[in-house]
Every structure is written in structure tokens, then in C-alpha cells.
Structure 1
Amino acid sequence: MIDQQETRESHRTERAQASTPQTLLEQMGGPMGFVYSTLPVIVFVAANAFLPLPVTIGVSIAAGVALTGFRLLRGERWSSAVGGLLGLAVAVGVVAATGSAKDFFVIGIWAALAGFLVTFGSVLARRPLTGVIWNAMHGGEHEWRSDKGVLRTHDIATAAAALVFGARFVVKEWLYLADSTTWLAVAKVVMGTPLTVLAALVVVWSFRRTTKRLVAQR
């Protein structure tokens, strides 16, 4: 009986691990979530290639409003749909204030730098952020840093997140300084959801390994 129960638990774990990439993508909005995050960027860059900047801003806002309405009609949460529109409004607001199309991406560039500093700094401080988050999710009652295997696991997971943030900042800042608005859009798309999913897979691995070592053995 015990062996059968352990076998069933093992099969459930294997199925959960196999479905992790799909689950992560679903939590990020699925394929449509990728489209929603990409479409405003494409509209802005395409409009900017043919239209004056003030008109480009207007077209981008109009497209954002239409996309938000479409998402609401599909029954999506108000916070998710409107949040995307607010993010777009802030981005084009910066563009309107500076008069430079490349500043559409400036908030994302500095957000990537901030993310890198926080994640990499936590590794250097021997308090990797993913471990701090895991412990907070489990009541903050585990001495996870005293387990060298767990600490190493979260060093790897947090370093993976830092690598994603750092790569985004370096590439986008270089393109920003080169005044390449089009390639900034390409970098935002390519280094957005795909890299986020890869980093999230490492984080999920670290969470599961920690739970197995510190919780499941109790």
C-alpha cells in the first residue's frame, strides 16, 4: 500500500513538472498575454515610422483603448486589462514630455536595472530573493539559509532572474544610446515573455526543491 501511494505521488509530481511550462504561460496570460504585451509596441514603432510623433502618440493611445475594450469584452479582469492601458499611457506620456520616440522604452530599461540590482544584491548579501519569497509564502518559519543545498538552489534561481534583468538592461541601454527605436522594440519582444518563462522555470524548480527538503520531510 505504501509503495503504491508513493508511486501515485511520484506520478503526480512528474505530471506537474511536465506541465510547468504550460502552467507558467497560462499564469502570464497564455499566448494572448504575449500578444497583448507586444501589440502596443508594434503599433507605436510602426506608426512612428510613417507619422509625426504627436500623431503616433494618438494612434498608440487609440489602439490601447481598443485593445483594453476587447480584453474587457472577453471577460478579462478589470485590473489586468486597464493595467496594460495605464502602462502604455505612462510610456507615451514620457515620450510626449521628452519629444523622443526612443523614450517609449526608458521605463522598462530602468526597471530592468532596478530588478538586476535587487536580485544580484540579494545573492551577494547571502539572502537570495527567491528564498526570501519562498519562506514568506510558508509562514516565515523555516531556517532555509542554514541548509546549504537550499541556499545554493536559491542562489542559482535568483542569479537566473538577475541574468535576465541584467541582459535586458545592457542590450536595451545599448540600443537606446544608439537611437535605434525599431531594434528596441525587437529587443522588448524577444527579451520579454520568452526570457521571463525561462527564469520562472528555474524559480519553480527552486521552490519545489526547497519544499521537498524542508517541508515534505517533516
Structure 2
Amino acid sequence: MAISYCTRPPQNDRTEGRPPPERRGPSRTRRPTLWEETGGPVGLLHSSLPSVAFVLVNSAFGLRPGIFAAIGTVIAFTVLRAARRQPLKPALAGVVGVGISSYFASRSGEARDFFVVDIWLSLTVFVLLVLSLVVRRPLAGVVWSAVNRSSRAWLHDRPSRFGYDVATAVLAFVFGSRFVVQFWLYDRDLAGWLAFAKIAMNYPLWAVALAVWAWAVRRAARRAGRTTP
């Protein structure tokens, strides 16, 4: 008498098309790029338009309406970013900057003083960047490590530190050239050209500086054997 055995196919604990839970890789949270950290093209626009609004309204209606136009523009951008649930850090920094600039222009009664804070800020940042190169602590790397709470092991790796040296030198050129050009225009009381120079020197120079900075970050990350943020 033959005995037949009925065998059941083994249970498959997988859901079709998906790996078992224990084999799934850890989910990674995407970190913002350098371009996104600075607000991207909207951030650059946010930093430039209040100056344009100030100059146009000031030339047509006077200093005080020009100040109100600049403040209204920066507040409108901030509200727009909040409504879209976009990062507010660049917007809030813009509000503070326009507020301080408006104070100096209102206090002196001269339109050119709307730009005086930006001029001296450029000089201050330039000096800090150069000093960081002198003491062999390039600020581009130090700032990136601080913002991302990452290791400063790159300080002990010459090629990685060289990359951050280059990025810091490019940033120093950006801020140094902005100071030289804008101070020259300020000294000649050319408020309209100050606004033009701020825009013209914002977009192209920042694009180059951020590209070099991103290159330095990727270079250091590759040498450290970890994924680029």
C-alpha cells in the first residue's frame, strides 16, 4: 500500500516586491545642500529686493517712504516663506538686516547710509576669513563642521584642509571685492549704484563661492570615507 506525502510549500514571510523587515536598510534623512542652507535663489532675491525697493521709492518719493518700502518688502517675503513652510532663518536674518539699515538711514537722513551696515559687514567678514587662513583654521571648514556638528578631523588631513583653504580664500575675495566696490560708491554718495552693485555682486560671486565650498566639503567627505552631507 503506497503512502503519499503531501508537502506544503514553505511559507514566504516576504511581501512581494519588498525585502523582509530585518534586511531593510536604515532610512536616511536628507541634509540640505550649501545652496539650500543659504536660501537658494529665493534667498538671494530676498536679500536684494529690499534694497531695490528702497532706492526706487526713495528717488521718487523721498527717504522715509523708501525705508517703509524696504521694510514692507522684506516682511512680505518672510510671510510668504512662512506660508509655504520654508526655512525662515534667511528671511529673519533679512528682516534684522533691513531693520538695522533703515535705522542708520533714518538717523543720518542720507540714503547711502542704508548700505553702510552691509559695507562694513563685508570688511569684517573679509578680515575674519583672512585671519582664519593665517592661523590655519579655514573658516569655510570650521563653519561647516559647526553647523553640521561633524568632526574636524579634516584639520589633520592636508588635502582636505587645502580644499577648505581654497574655499575660504574664494569667500574672502567675494567679501573683499564687495567692500572695495561698495565703499567707493558710498564715498561718492551713489545710492542707486550701491543697490546695483549689491545685486550684481551677489548672484555671480556667490554662485562661484558656493560651488567651490561644496567641492571642498565633498573632497573632505570622500577622504574621510563617509557620505557627503
What is the CA-CA distance between 1:76 and the residue it aligns to?
3.4
CA-atom RMSD in angstroms: 2.4
The answer to whether the 8 A contact 1:72-1:81 is kept is: no
Which of 103, 112, 119 is 2:113 aligned to?
103
Superposition map of 1:52-201 within 5 A: 52-133=62-143, 136=146, 137-140=149-152, 142=153, 144-201=154-211
Identity, % of aligned positions: 39
In 2, the alpha carbon distance for the partners of 1:153 and 1:78 equals 30
In 2, the alpha carbon distance for the partners of 1:62 and 1:138 equals 38
The answer to whether the 8 A contact 2:182-2:194 is kept is: yes
| 1:204 alignment counterpart | 214
What is the CA-CA distance between 1:126 and the residue it aligns to?
2.0
In 2, the alpha carbon distance for the partners of 1:43 and 1:171 equals 21
When normalised by structure 1's length, the TM-score is 0.77
In 2, the alpha carbon distance for the partners of 1:161 and 1:38 equals 19
What is the CA-CA distance between 1:24 and the residue it aligns to?
4.6
Letter in 1 for 2:188: A
Alignment gaps of 5+ in structure 2: 1-32
- When structure 1 is superposed on structure 2, of 191-200 and 73-82 the one drifting more is 73-82
The answer to whether the 8 A contact 1:112-1:168 is kept is: yes
In 2, the alpha carbon distance for the partners of 1:130 and 1:60 equals 31
The structure with more radius of gyration: 2
In 2, the alpha carbon distance for the partners of 1:102 and 1:179 equals 6
Equivalences, count: 193
Q: Is 1:213 the counterpart of 2:223 in the alignment?
A: yes
What is the CA-CA distance between 1:79 and the residue it aligns to?
4.7
Which of 48, 59, 74 is 1:49 aligned to?
59
What is the CA-CA distance between 1:41 and the residue it aligns to?
1.1
Letter in 1 for 2:141: G
- Determine helix, strand or coil for the equivalent of 2:130: helix
